[in-house]
Amino acid sequence: MTTDRCHITTSEYSRLLFSIFWSDNWFWFVLPVVLFAALGLLDWRYFVVALMTVLVVIPMVMALIYFNYMLTVETRWSIVEKTVSASRGGLLLNFGQGKNTLVGWKLMSGVYVKGSYVVVKLNVRRYQYLVFPRAAFVTPQDFQCFARLVSENLNR
């Protein structure tokens, strides 16, 4: 199976990445804010620390996360325009002009459909995904078939 030419924008990828990251790590962001807000009942300066955490620390941490995960080769695979072919060896990403990358099945650890995307989790490092938009598939059945094909090959 081969897809049409596809890519996602950096904002789509970062929105997807942050939603996954936030769902895994929300507790570590909320805990200091709640702790300092509770201590603010004893001394008002802790409210200021809670506000600084929300308005300064958390945005800076999110910026560091963005640069850590968005500036990798694997992220570029999702963002650059390409066609994708599923083969016995894995997913062949054809970027045009003779530039191809084969992502082997062993490099992938999971696949799921999130909204209008097929998200393939990579074993390279944490929070690295290959993302394919629904627009890359001619019909909704192709979209589901591609997700099922990848899922079946991961379980072998």
Q: At what angle do helices 10-39 and 58-70 cross, to 10 degrees?
A: 150
pLDDT at 69 > cutoff 70: yes
pTM of the predicted model, to two decimals?
A: 0.80
If pLDDT is split at 50, 70 and 90, which confidence band does 148 have? Answer: confident
Rounded CA separation 131/75 (Å): 9
Q: What are the residue ranges spanned by the domains of the chain?
A: 10-70, 73-154
Express each pLDDT in 119-141 by its tens digit: 989 988 888 999 988 888 888 88
- The CATH number of the structural domain formed by 73-154 is 2.30.29
The pLDDT value given to residue 152: 84
